[in-house]
Structure 1
Amino acid sequence: MVVGQKIEKQFGDLKVLKGIDISIDRGEIVTILGASGAGKTTLLQILGSLDKPSSGEVIINGTYINRLTGNQLAKFRNQHIGFVFQFHQLLPEFTALENCMLPGLIAGKSAKQARQQALKLLSYLGLNDRLEHKPAQLSGGEKQRVAVARALVNDPMVVFADEPSGNLDSKNQEELMDLFVDLRKQFNQTFVIVTHDQYLAQKADRTVHIVDGVIVD
């Protein structure tokens, strides 16, 4: 469902990715592990359409995303891809509910539709009593759950997560990965997760190891 073919990425004379081939199935939870500088975040950003490879192709559900133009790519990303980041990236002036609604509104849903979907997800994630709280009023674990709900609000084909547990304590780290597993069971959701967290890696269906820009067994 997500396929990377011969992906290379170079910054000046520095080659970060050196011909990556990767395939991820629908409903699979895959973690990407590697030392700092190995290229794992660069790979995630390329697979998630946030960056372009120097060469190679990324295909998501049959769409060659490298070949999309700016507006086409933005629309595809909004409708089919979700993102969860280490530091949440919630807008501080908006409530949890409003933050979760935003991708739906950008996708052209009515306020009623976006609100209904956001309420459904936030309720599922146990945040019914935090809907009107702004990020500064939420704990780290609560902010991350809002970020997960926001990533899912448009029912994406795949969610890319970059060190999603890196800013959480050990209890919330475990709860977050258990949440990903539950969401896969409930919605057949696909997750691609860059992490240093061995608990996340152990719970995943498969772990991809990157060393010096190449995948190793």
Structure 2
Amino acid sequence: MIKLEGITRRFGSLEVLKGIDLEINRGEIVSIVGPSGAGKTTLLQIMGTLDRPDSGNVLIDDTNVNRMKEKALSAFRNKNIGFVFQFHQLLPEFTALENVMIPAFIAGVSTKEAENRALEILQFMGLTERATHKPNELSGGEKQRIAVARALINNPAVILADEPSGSLDTHNKEELHQLFFDLRNRFGQTFVIVTHDEGLAGITDRTIHMVDGMIQPV
């Protein structure tokens, strides 16, 4: 599903990733853990095509995304990859439903089709009654679930999450973590989650440990 071969990345004189080889299977929920500065977020951004490696290959469904030009890469990303960040990044002027629909509009989906898909996802998450509320009218847990719904709107094969429960209280963390498994079971997505949360890492299918830009052997 996702294959990384010899991934390196430098920022100036700082070598952040030092030759990462990693394979993630379709339908897996994988956590990436390690101390701050280990290169976790940089790796996730390269995996999600938001950044390019200095060397190495990134293959998603056997497509080598390193060889794609920017316009084609943006379209590939929009269709195949969903993102969830620590802070939901919802647009405050739009309702929950409208926020969820935005990636579908970018993909050229009609308003009616995007709305029907968004409502289906919100219903699955138990958020139908919050569809017309703006972000400032939602709880922290609701905002993050809306962000997950937005990541799902184009039915991507992969969901990449960077500290998705980092800003939530214990109850909302547990609900969000369970949601990832419910979504995998319902829609079949592959999840890669960067986290400092030991509880989340402990329940994922596999945990990748990173230290100083390298993956530690199990």
TM-score (norm 1): 0.99
1:116-127 correspondence runs (5 A): 116-127=116-127
- How far 1:201 sits from its partner (Å)? 0.5
Partner AA of 1:84 in structure 2: V
Q: In the alignment, does 2:57 pair up with 1:57?
A: yes
Counterpart in the other structure of 2:191: 191
Counterpart in the other structure of 1:95: 95
- Please give the alpha-carbon distance, in whole angstroms, between the structure 2 residues aligned to 1:16 and 1:150: 30
Alpha-carbon deviations, 1:56-113, whole Å to 9, x = none?
1100001111111111011000001000000011111100000001111111110000
- Please give the alpha-carbon distance, in whole angstroms, between the structure 1 residues aligned to 2:68 and 2:32: 26
- Please give the alpha-carbon distance, in whole angstroms, between the structure 1 residues aligned to 2:134 and 2:185: 29
- Please give the alpha-carbon distance, in whole angstroms, between the structure 2 residues aligned to 1:102 and 1:214: 36
* Structure 1 runs (4+) greater than 6 angstroms displaced: none
- Please give the alpha-carbon distance, in whole angstroms, between the structure 1 residues aligned to 2:146 and 2:166: 16
List gaps (5 residues or longer) in structure 1: none
**Number of residue equivalences:** 217
Q: In the alignment, does 2:152 pair up with 1:152?
A: yes
- Please give the alpha-carbon distance, in whole angstroms, between the structure 2 residues aligned to 1:189 and 1:80: 10
- How far 1:139 sits from its partner (Å)? 0.5
Q: In the alignment, does 2:205 pair up with 1:210?
A: no
Q: In the alignment, does 2:156 pair up with 1:132?
A: no
List gaps (5 residues or longer) in structure 2: none
- Please give the alpha-carbon distance, in whole angstroms, between the structure 2 residues aligned to 1:34 and 1:54: 22
- How far 1:161 sits from its partner (Å)? 0.2
- Please give the alpha-carbon distance, in whole angstroms, between the structure 2 residues aligned to 1:21 and 1:201: 20
Per the alignment, in what secondary structure is the counterpart of residue 52 of structure 1? coil
TM-score (norm 2): 0.98
- How far 1:189 sits from its partner (Å)? 1.2
Partner AA of 2:198 in structure 1: Q
Q: RMSD of the TM alignment (CA)?
A: 0.6
